[in-house]
Amino acid sequence: MRVFLRRTASLLVSAVIASFVVFAFLSVLPGDPAEVVLGTNAGTQELAALRHSFGTDRPLVVQYADWAQGLLHGDFGISYISHDPIGPRISDRLGVTCWLALGGMAVAVLFALPAGVLAAAWHRRPAGALLSAVSQAGIAVPAFLAGILLVYVFAVRAGALPAGGYTPLAEDPAAWARQLVLPCLSLGLVQGAVLTRYVRSAVLTVLHQDFLRTARAKGRRQWPALWRHGLPNAAVPVLTVLGLQLSTVLVGAVVVERVFVIPGLGDLLLQSVADRDLLVVQGVVIVLVVAVLVVNVVTDLLYHLLDPRLRSR
């Protein structure tokens, strides 16, 4: 409990610092939103009027305070370009990206856990070497290439699954699921290949631990001993990688969103950067930063749950 409070407190501090850094960076960058909206031929008076209505003529500190205060209420401001409120746009997109990231990680874990454990347990057999080789090759494949290959095989050739697009879950669950399969696979298989390596090495380490032998000396058979005693111990290092990967996937879903034409957060980010819609960029970045921070805190708390040695400190 104390750990929980401490980690949450440090999360808040990090979030505040991050918001400050994000704001500072985007304010320093050249590109006046008013100029972007009105074009290069605008008169000074029109510009000043627009700046005043955007609030960008105020001192930076005031702008920051205003923005940050809005964030606390879930108000991300109003887009300079489309004049929509930014908050709902981000939350729509965040939902899509979360489904994609979670689906991708689910694929990765479902693939990596058995593959990693088997590769470790069979590390002296050809089957284990084969699993290692496959995962090695998987690491070398970029996610977008995996995506294109999957589209070619399953959508173009077999015609079994849609090649892209997105339907919200509430509208049509079946279409939603069908459209997410290929993106999640292309995201997940590559991450899964990486994760397999870590699972394998964690299980290999555990395989040679004395307590596994003790468990067998008590009458546990080989595989149950690995399951009951080995895996809970191997989970600790694997969790670290899993947390890092979830962050990577959240932020890195951009590419896969492009390949599969999915309206996710990454897609919104790229579009806003192209449009110079700085307030949207700012909002998306801060949401991603907070998401990564939350993943880190959750990983940390899970550590404490998994390893009693960390708890009694």
Partner 1 sequence: MSPVDPVTSVDPVDPERSAGSESGALLEVEGLTVDAGGKPLVQGVGFTVGRGERVGIIGESGSGKTLTALALLGLLGEGLRAAGSARLAGVPFDLLGAGDRELSTVRGRLAGMVFQEPMTALNPVMRTGSQVAEALRLHGPRGERPGRAAARDAAVELLGRLRLPDPARAARAYPHQLSGGQRQRAVLAGALANDPALLICDEPTTALDVTVQKEIVDLITGVSDERGTAVLYISHDLALVASVCHRVLVMHDGEIVESGPVERVLRQPEHPYTQALLSASDLSVPAPRPPAPAEPRTLLRARGLTRRYARPRRGLLGPRTHFTALEGLDLELRAGARVGVVGESGSGKTTLLRLLSGLDRPTSGTVENAAGGDPRSGPGGGLQVVFQDPMGSLDPRMRVRDVIAEPLPDRRSPAAADRVAELLADVGLPAEAAGRYPHQFSGGQRQRIAIARALAPRPSVLLADEPVSALDVSVRAQVLDVLSRVTAERDMALCVVTHDLGVVRYLCDEVVVMREGRVVERGPVERVWEEPAHPYTRQLLEAVPVLR
Residues that bind partner 1 (CB under 8 A): 2, 124, 208-211, 213-222, 228-229, 232-233, 236, 306-309, 312-313
* Closest distance to partner 1 from the beta carbon of 116 (Å): 18
Distance of closest approach, residue 129 Cβ to partner 1, in angstroms:
14
| Cα dihedral: 214, 216, 218, 223 (round 10) | 130
Sign of the alpha-carbon torsion through 74, 75, 80, 83: positive
- Shortest CB 8 distance to partner 1, Å: 14
Q: How far is the CB of 125 from partner 1 (least distance, A)?
A: 10
CB nearer partner 1, residue 119 or residue 187: 119
Residue with tokens 């489904």: 99
Q: Which is nearer to partner 1, 5 or 72 (CB)?
A: 5
The residue (of 282 and 299) whose beta carbon lies closer to partner 1 is 299
Among candidates 225, 224, 230, 242, which has minimal Cα distance to 202? 230
SS3 281: helix
Provide DSSP, 93-113: HHHHHHHHHHHHHHHHHHHHH
Q: Which of 283, 272, 269 is CA-nearest to residue 36?
A: 272
Minimum CB separation of residue 229 from partner 1 in Å reads 5
Beta carbon nearer to partner 1, 44 or 312: 312
Alpha-carbon distance values, 266 to 14, 97, 256, 258 (Å): 22, 8, 9, 8
Of 202 and 288, CB closest to partner 1: 202
